[in-house]
């Protein structure tokens, strides 16, 4: 039996978008640093619900290993996943696109097909912030149960959103701070890298040294990235290969 495997779940930050793809993702470097194999199931543009459902759809060889780790990188909360009509059941897990993702809070991208843009406009009429929070909670419960059934440890480190904290979720859910569902989210156990709570902050503040950065979406819209950030971040907002390497080094330290 092999020793250790890491199963990576997330969006484009997990996939390694703009850094060169999965072979340049932090997940690969992280796995190598702790002498583990890995499977990268990152979905470019995916939402939390689709990200967490993906491992349930395939017979992954995780039981070939003595130690199993699921690394979950939550994405933006305002993404809605529905099963893709073009998904093939016999597809390759690491490249299959099982879900179509909509972002009701953003103006539809002109490059999307007409039907996709029409769907996003329709969804925007009833989408509420609490729906994004509930999507995450349902996805989290799914992956917690998956880990329990498959005897995996779970590591959580968000991609770019700074909303993964009790205060933000309380505001989204519009509930009392003593709400049981709210308090069941283990925010205190999410990973922190040098005090940073997501990959984007680790890069723009920790690596690039930008003290009071704008949000990733603001920089993408204006394309006015700080000069010292360009070493680590592409214009599309994704971390460069070097940033992936450095994140992996920090993650490996946490496992020693």
Angle in degrees, CA 84, 88, 90, rounded to 5: 145
Q: How buried is residue 150: exposed, middle or buried, by Cβ count under 10 Å (0-12/13-18/19+)?
A: middle
Q: For residue 8, what is the enclosing H or E element?
A: strand 2-9
What is the average pLDDT score of the chain?
Answer: 94
What distances in angstroms separate CA 126 from CA 47, 102, 116, 121, 129, one per listed residue?
Answer: 18, 13, 16, 10, 10
Given this model, what pLDDT does residue 87 score?
Answer: 84
Given this model, what pLDDT does residue 144 score?
Answer: 98
Q: How confident is the model over 152-180, as a mean pLDDT?
A: 97
φ and ψ of 116, to 5 deg:
-65, -45
What distances in angstroms separate CA 23 from CA 16, 93, 147, 179, 202, one per listed residue?
Answer: 8, 16, 25, 42, 21
Q: How confident is the model over 129-152, as a mean pLDDT?
A: 97
Given this model, what pLDDT does residue 91 score?
Answer: 73
Closest CA to 31 of 212, 235, 218, 251: 251
Rg (CA), the chain: 18
Of all residues in the chain, the percent with pLDDT exceeding 70 is 100
Residue 143 CA to residue 31 CA, distance in Å, equals 20
Is the pLDDT at 71 greater than 90? The verdict is yes
Closest CA to 255 of 2, 6, 1, 73: 6
Residue 217 CA to residue 223 CA, distance in Å, equals 10
- Strands, sheet with 2-9, edge to edge from the N-terminal-most edge strand: 37-40, 2-9, 65-72, 153-156
Given this model, what pLDDT does residue 212 score?
Answer: 86
- Domains of the chain (ranges, CATH numbers): 2-251 (3.40.50.1110)
Given this model, what pLDDT does residue 94 score?
Answer: 84
Structure tokens at 122: 């329709």
- What confidence tier does 95 reach under pLDDT thresholds 50, 70, 90? confident
Given this model, what pLDDT does residue 19 score?
Answer: 96
Lowest mean pLDDT among 5-14, 24-33, 103-112, 172-181: 103-112
pTM recorded for the entire structure: 0.95
Closest CA to 143 of 129, 153, 128, 158: 153
Given this model, what pLDDT does residue 68 score?
Answer: 98
Other CB atoms within a 10 A radius of the CB of residue 173 amount to: 18
Residue 55 CA to residue 141 CA, distance in Å, equals 13
């Amino acid at each position: 039996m092999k020793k250790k495997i890491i199963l990576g779940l997330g969006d484009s930050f997990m996939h390694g978008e703009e850094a060169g793809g999965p072979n340049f993702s932090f997940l690969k470097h992280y796995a190598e640093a702790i002498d583990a194999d890995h499977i990268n199931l990152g979905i470019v543009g995916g939402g939390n619900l689709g990200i967490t459902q993906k491992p349930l759809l395939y017979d992954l060889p995780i039981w070939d290993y003595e130690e199993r780790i699921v690394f979950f990188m939550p994405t933006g909360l305002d993404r809605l996943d529905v099963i893709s009509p073009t998904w093939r059941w016999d597809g390759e897990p690491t490249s299959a696109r099982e879900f179509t993702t909509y972002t009701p809070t953003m103006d539809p991208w002109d490059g999307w097909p007409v039907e996709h843009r029409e769907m996003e406009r329709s969804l925007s009429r009833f989408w509420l912030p609490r729906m994004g929070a509930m999507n995450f909670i349902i996805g989290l419960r799914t992956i917690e149960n998956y880990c329990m059934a498959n005897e995996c440890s779970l590591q959580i480190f968000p991609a770019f959103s700074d909303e993964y904290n009790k205060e933000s979720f309380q505001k989204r859910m519009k509930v009392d701070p003593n709400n049981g569902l709210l308090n069941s989210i283990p925010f205190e156990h999410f990973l922190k890298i040098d005090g940073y709570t997501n990959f984007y902050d680790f890069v723009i503040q920790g690596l690039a040294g930008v003290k009071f950065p704008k949000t990733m979406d603001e920089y993408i819209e204006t394309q006015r990235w700080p000069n010292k950030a360009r070493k680590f971040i592409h214009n599309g907002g994704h971390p460069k290969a070097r940033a992936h390497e450095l994140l992996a080094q920090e993650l490996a330290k946490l496992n020693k």
